């Protein structure tokens, strides 16, 4: 019997003519590790929430969701709360107490668990997740990866049979995201927990999942084992663009046989079939030198007088019209750096110049009047109105004309409340809103989180279009591949200081962990190939495949 099943589920939100879910049917067996993938706004989050009774949105629905053969509505509150766990996209939104051990105890307390059993479970889960040293800490002091791990542990301590996760790695750096997904794999393997995960970052999760659900416009259009489903995808499908590098390389080269899913698969089975003469791409053409848009020299910042320095002698510069990506781990100081550069925070030492003028000399909001604009990591903080249209009109009453070249059609969102939008749709609305301020220096904090591959390509078009108009873009990101494909220069921030910076082709070719899957796949076969497109280009220049079919 299926542990989780949807039967002809249709969901419509109030005052919306188009259903957000339309005749959705699928089933998962006990122990399945399933991944939902699909375009931004296709209904992934709504589908997950329909599987968790306490989170079902206000809606009109037909069809049913079954858990272990029974309707969700037929379960008592205790069983429904404990047997189906849910981990949200934003770590802070799920934390409710002021100590880690309180957070672990919270669910058990609400279930009426006896104190002696509660203490034993807290000790067990802390040991399993390696968080014994955190137990007395304030969750606010944890890194993003630690917070998300705490959320997962707080759910798992209630020993659920089904675990639902909504883009849990969206705000994590690549190493923390990989560690989180490894923990999920352990839970699935060690306890046969059924997992249903919605995710856009598919590089690490596709190779370990057992079922792949493909959603399009509110429907589950395909469900199958990953290798079978991905082999059937057309090479030009929008979904293919978001798949792991091994899958994209397989389709881009028109290969036959079993579809590789992981870096290891590609290195062992795919790369030996390509031309063996190792070559390097030509060095990228240097950008024309322009005047500095931003200069930072020996900047120091701390939140508390007796606290540690979050920015610790930070020095770097960005040229006018340049697209600069800053990467680094959670807690490295990236968001703090943007807050300082946007004037929200002030350094206690160091110099910052914006377009040749010290930041302290910008008076009476002149820094933010068609000069510097920040899109924060939590985009909900920029929403103040009841509809998307009102949000845009707040900045420019002629927003439709001003956004004529914006490559996303936001008109279907105009009548909706910003908080009713998906995470990716909120990101696009917030980006449109900040673009209406017509900045000369645009600061972006994780703008690709929640976006599918096609939306990321259109975002890149927007940013390159702004560059062509002379706008300078400084972007903080965990999206290594986006930075490798589109940035002019990349920098690595660690412990509040810039460690190194270079053009993406050299920068990522030298990194072992903060690098692309394409770089890992091609290392030792080709030099300085850090994107799938670059590998394909070298293969074509070397005469194509040695053999096309290898069944």
Q: CA-CA distance, 352 to 40, in Å (whole number)?
A: 37
Q: What is the DSSP string of 56-74?
A: PPS-EEEEEEEETTEEGGG
**CA atoms of 83 and 483, how far apart (whole Å):** 40
Rounded to 5°, the CA angle 73-75-77 comes to 100
**What is the torsional sign of CA 432, 471, 488, 375?**
negative
Instruction: Give the DSSP letter of residue 138.
Output: -
β-strand partners of 133: none
Helices and strands counted in the chain (H then E): 18, 20
Q: How far apart are CA 175 and CA 221, in angstroms?
A: 32
* pLDDT at residue 278, rounded to an integer: 66
> Which residues lie closer than 8 Å to 277 by C-beta, 6 or more apart?
542
CA distance 339 to 8: 47
What's the distance, CA 427 to chain centroid?
Answer: 11
User: Which pLDDT does position 300 carry in this prediction?
Assistant: 96
Find tokens 């707080």 and name the residue.
154
Which string of DSSP letters, residue by residue, matches 451-472? --HHHHHHHHHHHHHHHHTT-E
**Helix pair angle (453-468, 423-435), 10° resolution:** 10
Number of Cβ within 10 Å of residue 143's Cβ equals 16
**What domains can be seen in the chain, in order of their start residue?**
4-232 (3.40.50.300), 292-502 (3.40.50.300)
Give the separation between CA 515 and CA 530, rounded to whole angstroms.
Answer: 8
The set of residues, in sequence order, having a beta carbon less than 8 Å from that of 79 and lying 6+ positions away, is: none
DSSP 245-259: HHHHHHHHTT--SSP
Q: Give 84's strand partners.
A: 162
In which element (H, E) is residue 109 found? Answer: helix 100-110
What per-residue confidence (pLDDT) applies to 548?
Answer: 38
* Whether the Cβ atoms of residue 474 and residue 294 lie closer than 8 Å to each other: yes
pLDDT of residue 550: 32
The whole model's pTM is what?
Answer: 0.86
Q: Collapsing DSSP states into helix, strand and coil, what is residue 21? A: strand
Distance between CA atoms of residues 517 and 250, nearest Å: 14
Q: Which of 148, 140, 136, 135 is nearest to 179 (CA)?
A: 148
Please give the Cα distance from 42 to 160 (Å, whole number). Answer: 27
Which of 95, 116, 90, 93 has its CA nearest to residue 107? 95
Burial class (CB in 10 A: 0-12, 13-18, 19+), 105: buried
The closest alpha carbon to 177, from 396, 535, 452, 479, belongs to 479
326: which strand partners?
A: 476, 491
Q: How far apart are CA 483 and CA 515, in angstroms?
A: 10
* Residues constituting the chain: 551
The contacts of residue 117 (CB under 8 Å, 6+ apart) are: 108
What pLDDT digit, counting tens, does each position of 199-240 carry?
888 998 999 999 999 999 899 999 999 999 998 888 777 788
pLDDT for 544: 63
Cβ neighbors of 74 (< 8 A, separation 6 or more) are none
Contact 81, 111 (CB under 8 A): yes
**CA 539 from centroid of its chain's CA atoms:** 30
Q: In sequence order, which residues have a C-beta less than 8 Å from that of residue 262 and are 6 or more positions away?
A: 206, 207, 244, 246
Which stretches of the chain drop beneath a pLDDT of 50? 547-551
Give strand pairing partners of 501.
491
Contact 6, 64 (CB under 8 A): yes
């Amino acid at each position: 019997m299926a542990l989780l099943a949807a039967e002809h589920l249709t969901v419509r939100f109030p005052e919306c003519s188009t259903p957000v879910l339309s005749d959705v049917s699928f089933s998962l067996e006990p122990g399945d590790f399933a991944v939902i993938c699909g375009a931004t706004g296709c209904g992934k989050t709504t589908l997950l929430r329909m599987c968790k009774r306490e989170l079902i949105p206000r809606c009109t629905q037909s069809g049913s969701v079954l858990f272990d053969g029974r309707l969700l509505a037929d379960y008592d509150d205790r069983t429904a709360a404990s047997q189906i766990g849910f981990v949200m996209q934003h770590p802070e939104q799920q934390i409710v107490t002021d100590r880690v051990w309180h957070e672990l105890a919270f669910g058990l307390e609400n279930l009426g668990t006896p104190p002696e059993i509660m203490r034993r479970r807290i000790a067990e889960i802390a040991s399993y997740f390696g968080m014994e040293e955190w137990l007395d800490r304030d969750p606010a002091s944890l890194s993003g990866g630690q917070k998300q791990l705490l959320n997962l542990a707080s759910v798992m301590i209630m020993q659920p049979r089904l675990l639902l996760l909504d883009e849990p790695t969206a705000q994590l750096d690549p190493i923390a995201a990989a560690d989180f997904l490894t923990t999920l794999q352990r839970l699935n393997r060690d306890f046969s927990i059924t997992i249903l995960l919605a995710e856009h970052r598919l590089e690490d999760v596709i190779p370990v999942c057992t079922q792949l659900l493909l959603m399009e416009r509110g429907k589950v259009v395909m469900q199958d084992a990953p290798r079978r489903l991905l082999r059937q995808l057309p090479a030009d499908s929008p979904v293919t663009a978001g798949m792991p590098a091994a899958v994209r390389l397989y389709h881009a080269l028109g290969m036959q046989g079993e579809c590789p899913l992981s870096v290891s698969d590609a290195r062992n089975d795919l790369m030996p079939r390509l031309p063996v003469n190792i070559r390097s791409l030509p060095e990228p053409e240097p950008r024309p030198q322009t005047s500095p848009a931003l200069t930072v020299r020996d900047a120091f910042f701390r939140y508390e007088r007796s606290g540690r320095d979050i920015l610790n002698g930070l020095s770097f510069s960005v040229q006018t019209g340049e697209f600069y990506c800053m990467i680094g781990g959670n807690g490295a100081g990236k968001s703090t750096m943007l807050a300082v550069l946007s004037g929200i925070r002030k350094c206690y030492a160091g110099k910052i110049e914006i377009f040749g003028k010290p930041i302290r000399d910008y008076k009476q909001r002149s820094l933010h009047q068609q000069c510097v604009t920040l899109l924060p990591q939590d985009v909900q903080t920029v929403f103040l109105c009841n509809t998307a249209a009102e949000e845009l009109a707040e900045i420019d009453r002629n927003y439709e004309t001003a956004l004529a070249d914006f490559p996303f059609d936001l008109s279907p969102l105009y009548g909706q409340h910003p908080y009713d939008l998906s995470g990716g749709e909120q990101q696009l609305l917030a980006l449109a809103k900040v673009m209406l301020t017509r900045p000369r220096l645009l600061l972006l904090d994780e703008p690709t989180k929640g976006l599918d591959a096609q939306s990321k390509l259109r975002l890149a078009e927007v940013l390159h279009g702004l560059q062509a108009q002379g706008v300078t873009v400084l972007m903080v990101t965990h999206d290594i591949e986006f930075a490798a494909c589109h940035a002019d220069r990349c920098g690595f921030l660690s412990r509040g200081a810039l460690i190194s910076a270079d053009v993406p082709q050299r920068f990522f070719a030298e990194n072992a962990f903060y690098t692309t899957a394409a770089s890992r796949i091609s290392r030792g076969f080709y030099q300085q190939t850090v994107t799938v497109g670059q590998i394909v280009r070298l293969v074509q220049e070397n005469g194509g495949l040695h053999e096309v079919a290898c069944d």
